[in-house]
Structure 1
């Protein structure tokens, strides 16, 4: 039977979210994203009291998430910590849990919505729809895949911008 758990990103910690009823999980990389002293102290206390557990994703889940974020175009918008947190949610689901990711990050929410993984916001309203991303040259309008790493067009040398596509 699936039991509900929460997977928290840095915005959830900073926003003061922590479930008393359900287990909370983070990855080690989330700790490094917490910069303010108050949030650090709250997080350390929660870890000591075991109301928040540190758990890492497995390689299979990281690979699956990487494929999804490349396809969605969110690959350049997500940090390694974000990718690992989504991969952790995949792992927990594989391990017969029902993860809910708590994040205010719109790119994370976009990926979670695509894969139909439950999520909730803390301080923001959250996204309304699913979006894809494409890179387009401002000059000649050549389209590039989201993972294209250069800032200038290979044809005309003009700056490349990211455009959101509603799916």
Structure 2
């Protein structure tokens, strides 16, 4: 089984047995020396994500509206996990809820590094803080011109815990 690791794995200092892969942008995020040491001790392979899969990740993140929360590094790690999940058993190790939400929608198994795992896949939308109308996206209400905030639209399914 391949384990795709987000920065949270190395930052928490948790060590995994077996094959661990990450992406170059995760390595760049590791400023703490102990996090870098943890990564080096696990003999992690660092591989770039495929551009075609990054596009697929962005499309799926648009469905759940997690796209506003995901950084470039988040997209990279999701694309790498998607690549491996299509050819062998793969688990994405991350504490980031937006990454977990999108990964589950992509059919990727997830495991938290130190935090709890999400219980439900959530869908998001925007709500005007002035008139309270809801819209699928945007930062400014097209009706009254007030700022909008992200609110939960609903959930898709319960997420089963990994054994």
Fold shared per TM-score above 0.5: yes
For structure 2, which runs of at least 5 residues remain unmatched after alignment? 156-163
Q: Does 1:33 align with 2:21?
A: no
Aligned-pair CA distance for 1:164 = 1.3
Q: Do the aligned partners of 1:104 and 1:122 also contact (CA within 8 Å) in 2?
A: yes
Q: Do the aligned partners of 1:99 and 1:118 also contact (CA within 8 Å) in 2?
A: yes
Q: Does 1:117 align with 2:114?
A: no
Q: Do the aligned partners of 1:18 and 1:24 also contact (CA within 8 Å) in 2?
A: no
Give the structure 1 partner of residue 141 of structure 2: 153
4+ residue runs of structure 1 moved beyond 6 angstroms? none
* Structure 2 Cα separation of the partners of residues 125 and 164 of structure 1: 19
For structure 1, which runs of at least 5 residues remain unmatched after alignment? none
* Structure 1 Cα separation of the partners of residues 73 and 131 of structure 2: 35
Q: Does 1:7 align with 2:11?
A: no
Alignment of 1:41-56 (within 5 A): 41-43=37-39, 45-46=40-41, 51-56=43-48
* Structure 2 Cα separation of the partners of residues 119 and 130 of structure 1: 12
Q: Do the aligned partners of 2:15 and 2:38 also contact (CA within 8 Å) in 1?
A: no
